[in-house]
Amino acid sequence: MKIRSRWFNMILSYLATFCLRLLFLTARVQHRAIVDEASPYARSQSPQRYTFCMWHDQIVLAVFSLRTWNLAGLISQHRDGGYLADSVLIAGIQPVRGSTSRGGAGAVSEILSRPDLHLAMTPDGPRGPRRKMKEGIVYISSRSGRPIVPTALVCNHYWAIPGNWSDMVIPKPFSKVILIAGTPIIVPPELPREEMAIWADFVHSEMARLELIAQRLQEGETSAADEIDRTADPEYRPQTQANESESRAA
């Protein structure tokens, strides 16, 4: 059943937000960020803003685990996205409506007009496939000057609420949540479109690497945290033809 009343939708959004906030009060949340200011949960004084990359099934973990600051969220113009937009707005996040398939140009324009805000994106939305990285996040990062921060968000005990193409993870009471904001990936400005797929694959691989680390931390392997930081790694960028040429020249 589709609920068409705007007021009723808002009431449901307030109720859902209230319940989720109560639920997360019971959770044990651990947060690790490689760059202090490169986290949606940090109140940074730096003018630099970032694009946080997370999977669609992790939205609830991202929004409610900790308080966010100076954050916008890219949300689809689909009806279901409207419910989510209401909830994130109540939670203190500025919704930007649009996706790669609908309203994308307007969304990009709005993002570029707000250099004061970080941006959170789910690159496998709004219609999947699940955890399939799309190139839109690379395009926005390149054009906006916001480095991409790959993330990992895991929970040891949770409900998986089924959706059309992806579940939604909601932690059970007193569960443990681990959040990782990885090493920022600086995408070259005005990156050619033919190179965006290479960068998208690179972001995807880093997301997978961080999630494995987060799972190891969940299991008590504290030394896994030493593998998160890649700021000193000269290979921390895609191996494009331009990069290979620079390496040979050096």
Q: Is the pLDDT of residue 1 over 60?
A: no
pLDDT for the residue numbered 54: 96
Q: What is the pLDDT of residues 155-208, one digit of tens each?
A: 999 999 998 888 999 999 999 999 999 999 999 999 999 999 999 999 999 999
Residue 142 burial by Cβ neighbours in a 10 Å radius (0-12, 13-18, 19+) = buried
What pLDDT is recorded for position 51?
A: 97
Task: Return d(Cα 62, Cα 151) in angstroms, integer.
Answer: 10
Confidence (pLDDT) at 9: 78
Whether the predicted pLDDT of 249 surpasses 50: no
User: What is the reported pLDDT for 110?
Assistant: 83
Per residue in 33-68, pLDDT (tens digit) is 999 999 999 998 899 999 999 999 999 999 999 999
CA-CA distance, 200 to 105, in Å (whole number)? 19
Whether 36 contacts 113, CB under 8 Å? no
Find out whether 160 and 169 touch, Cβ atoms under 8 Å. Answer: yes
How far is residue 124 from each of residues 53, 67, 76, 204, 248, measured CA to CA in Å? 10, 24, 11, 10, 35
CB atoms within 10 A of CB 208: 13
Average pLDDT, the chain: 88
CB 27 within 8 A of CB 175: yes
Asked if 120 and 72 count as a contact pair (C-beta separation under 8 A), the reply is: yes
99 has a pLDDT exceeding 80: no
Are residues 18 and 86 in contact, defined by beta-carbon separation less than 8 angstroms? Answer: no
Question: How large is the average pLDDT for residues 138-155?
Answer: 96
- pLDDT at site 250: 47
State CA 36 to chain mean position distance: 16
Query: What pLDDT score does 235 carry?
Result: 85
Structure confidence at residue 98 (pLDDT): 64
Cβ(218)–Cβ(156) below 8 Å:
yes
- Which of 62, 35, 44 minimizes the C-alpha distance to 178? 62
Q: All domains of the chain, ordered by start, with CATH? A: 30-249 (3.40.1130)
The region that residue 70 occupies, defined by phi over 0 for left and psi between -120 and 50 for alpha, beta otherwise, is: left
Model-level pTM?
A: 0.89
pLDDT for 242 beyond 70: no
186 class by beta-carbon count within 10 Å (0-12 exposed, 13-18 middle, 19+ buried)? middle
Q: What is the pLDDT of residue 245?
A: 43
User: What is the structure's pLDDT at 185?
Assistant: 97
Q: What is the pLDDT of residue 18?
A: 94
DSSP state of 51: E
